Structure 1
Amino acid sequence: MPQTSPETTARYRILVLGASYGSLLSTKLMLAGHHATLVCREATAAIFNAEGSTVRMPVRGQEGLIEVDSGSLPGLLQAASPEKVAPAEFDLVVLAMQEPQYSAPGVRELIGRVAASGVPTMAITNMPLLPYLARIPGLETASLRPCFLEPELWDAFDPDLMTLCSPDPQAFRPPEEKPNVLQVRLPTNFKAAAFANEAHTAILRKLDAGIEAARFESPEHGALELPVKLRVYDSVFVPLAKWAMLMAGNYRCVRSEEMRPIKDAVHGDLEASQAVYDWVVGVCIELGGDNSDFVPFGKYAKAASALASPSSAARALAGGAKNIERVDKLVALVAAQQGKQLDVVDETVALVEKWLSHNRAA
């Protein structure tokens, strides 16, 4: 059984919207002894409830992938469709879906119940939701509403009950597997900002400590420390560190006629990429961030050299998506509030708009 320290034995009930990416965090939570309920389609929920979840991840010092089945963990896993969930029964709600997905029938109504429940909510997303943006001093959120598919969904949330977590770990569903199987490609850490209320932040810190202390008992390898931790930061700007990466790489995969790999978007014109990166970091620093909140461009560029595929946003647009997360537009509008503008960023926003218009007209 996983080992936990005496200080981390409190068990929380955590509701996770989004069973794909959400199953990664839920696995780490269950390893630390907490109980997770995944929200997904009814057919998918039936598979999770019958078979549990399986997460495969690379572990330092081990060959191949380590397979973690939820049935072997001390915490409990359940899954349910949106209409069967009562958010008030949980200690924490985690939003682990793409922003446009919250407008889906059933999910939209669940979001309303989450807001009404008063339960602290952590969004794992590159696209900070409007209640979180309201926590950033001096940021005027009314002009940012066009970046969201359905901004009124978020109006009922108390900003003090919303925090943001950067989705740094990369994982995917192997296409040949059932939907309860997830494979981790990049086992980095989740980076969460503190809540406005220290009592709610204390929940995150206990989760952080419990995940750090837990060990997975592998039948073949014994007690293993698994990667992908939950780190909690006082700064509200730490989860925004991805903005510069997204704007220098991911969204610049989008071209007029076709998409290009992230490594080409970054290294095709390294000087232009650094100009975008530094400009976005500057926008965040003017908001109140600190240089220490952000990854140096050189480190990012080195990592980007191994990213041989277009970004998920670019692939979605090429596949006909009518809506994607609009971090590109959000960054441009935040910068405009500061009187800043960059041609390369405006060109990227225009290209994304062009693809979306084409897809919506198809």
Structure 2
Amino acid sequence: MSVLNGVQVHTDCIYFRGDIPCKPNKESGYQCGNCPVYIPVLKRILIIKLGAIGDVIRTTPLLRKIRTTYPQAKITWLTHTPAILPKQEIEEILKFDLAAILYLQNTQFDILFNLDKDKEACALHDSIQADQKFGYTLKNGVAYPSNELANHKFLTGVFDQLSLENKKSYVEEIFEICGWQFNYEEYIFDNHQDKGFSWPFDHSKPLIGLNTGCGDRWTTRLWSDEKWIELIQLLHQENYTVVLLGGEQEDARNTRLQEATNALYLGYFKLEQFINLMYQMDVIVTQVTMAMHIAIALQKKMVLLNNIFNPYEFELYQRGVIIQPDKECACFYRGTCKYGTSCMEDLPASKVYQAVKNTLHQPVITPAPPIA
């Protein structure tokens, strides 16, 4: 506590801002000297997870563990994609830029979790003051485990042979890096159901969302139009409503599929609206892409089409199934097929159709309660 001109100031309070009035002062007129909601920060924790949107989303289960382990922690998260994070669960969300770096390098933390192997993230691990550090540091100018807890995840990332042998999911691995055991903590994510989005769906029939794209990096994941058309026709025979999902990059494909099958395609949307559209679905069929992470975060039933990745990497929380081609994939973590064609063409539409039916009728897994 400090006293300025006879006024008490609790800079250690979880609500205190320093540049503007805090929420209790603004809403209730409280001041530090007699504030009934004063909560001292007992742990200052920094998470560095810059990465792609999907990687940021699938790191959010850590927030549940942090809150139960350190209930009076102030959490700061540094990322390239701050808009995707649950603002109600994180005291301070920072976009990676010079201002954020200067601030962080002049702030003392109790715990730092660096979960990225990007050189800039590892450099921050080394330059930010923290009593305990977990994750990745720099050694000889490249990423390296900060301590032995990160050894397993590090090694599976640099040797394909070890990656193929791995039986741990990504979420299990990041919990391990932080010194914790993963107990199926759920993602924390906003479904944007309160934003007033309106959709022309008849919910008396099952809504099956088909996310037809997978980005530019790993094009070996793509399934052909012919396969999607065959799947849509099979689903229509069950009187399911098929909804085509994707972004601007998938617009041409989804338009073709709509014209060929009369599946429902509403266009592409900004991220918040796309998330809410996915939330309306009963089952989502997707390849390994951002939509997969969103579907898991929304606690949706899912059929995941996979060929080039280790299937143990994905934690579906017993709400989904992973379907792979009948032909064994020979292009592990490759962006192009070394045989000139993708083994995804050896994944029958009938196999995916049956997986959708089975998944649709699985019992609903009780979702995790919100953080108290």
Structure 1 length normalisation: TM-score? 0.30
Instruction: Pick the structure with more helix per residue.
Output: 1
Structure with the bigger RCO (C-alpha within 8 Å, sep 6+) is: 1
Structure whose CA Rg is larger:
2
Question: What TM-score, normalized by structure 2, do the two folds share?
Answer: 0.30
